[in-house]
Amino acid sequence: MTRCDRHQENITALADGALGILATLRLHLHLASCRVCAAVADARRSAVAVQRNVLSAPVEVDCERMLAEARRAIAALGEPTPFPFLRAADRRGATPWNWAVLAGVGGAAATAGLFAWLVSPSTVLVPLGLGAPPAVVASKPELFRDYEIIRELDALEHFDSVNRVRLEDSRPAATKQRRRT
């Protein structure tokens, strides 16, 4: 590294305000005698001045205009809703998704209502052990478990005898007479 190289490093440090007093004096003595380093120092100084001007230049921001635009954008979003997808559908101006969601919710509610109407809650909860069976069922569980068999008991006891029966013609007598003639 030459002597001038070391001084040019100091020029940068001086521009940044990071050079000590003695080193500053030494650098100024050198600049007075070295035209090359003096030119470098001038160039560095003007560059730093330009940077300072750029950084200290006032930035013009129209806060009022930005605020007004933000208000308009918020107003366009509409009122806050717990169903953002519905609001999104409104914004798009397309309703199929909206209708699909409403139809799904309505369908689920209708199914739940129909289920509750057809099946009492105990029919579902008791089998799962979440409730006691009605007293009649608790006292005669076998009756309700084998209900179909018990209801048809007479026919089932005599199944073969019943099956052997030859069905009598149950058509009205007039029809039979017409058939014979």
Among 147, 171, 176, 178, binds another protein (CB under 8 A): 147
Q: How far apart are CB 177 and another protein at their closest, in Å? A: 22
Residue 151 interacts with another protein (CB under 8 A): yes or no: yes
Q: How far apart are CB 115 and another protein at their closest, in Å? A: 14
Q: How far apart are CB 151 and another protein at their closest, in Å? A: 6
Q: Hey, what long-range contacts does 124-131 have (CB within 8 A, 24 or more apart)?
A: none
How many positions of this chain bind another protein (CB under 8 A)?
41
User: Residue 137 is encoded by which pair of tokens?
Assistant: 């069922």
CA nearest neighbour of 119 among 127, 64, 58 = 127
Residue 135 interacts with another protein (CB under 8 A): yes or no: no
CB 55 within 8 A of CB 48: no
48-76 per-residue burial string, b: 16 or more CB within 10 A, e: under 16: eeeeeeeeeeeeeeeeeeeeeeeeeeeee
Among 32, 159, 176, 178, binds another protein (CB under 8 A): 159
Residue 158 interacts with another protein (CB under 8 A): yes or no: yes
Residue 163 interacts with another protein (CB under 8 A): yes or no: yes
Residue whose tokens read 């209801």 = 151
Residue 156 interacts with another protein (CB under 8 A): yes or no: yes
Residue 108 interacts with another protein (CB under 8 A): yes or no: no
Q: How far apart are CB 111 and another protein at their closest, in Å? A: 19
Say which DSSP state 126 is in. T
Burial class (CB in 10 A: 0-12, 13-18, 19+), 40: middle
CA nearest neighbour of 150 among 140, 160, 163 = 140
Q: How far apart are CB 108 and another protein at their closest, in Å? A: 23
Among 25, 39, 77, 138, binds another protein (CB under 8 A): 138
Residue numbers at the binding site for another protein (CB under 8 A): 120, 122-124, 126-129, 133-134, 136-159, 161-163, 165, 167-168, 170
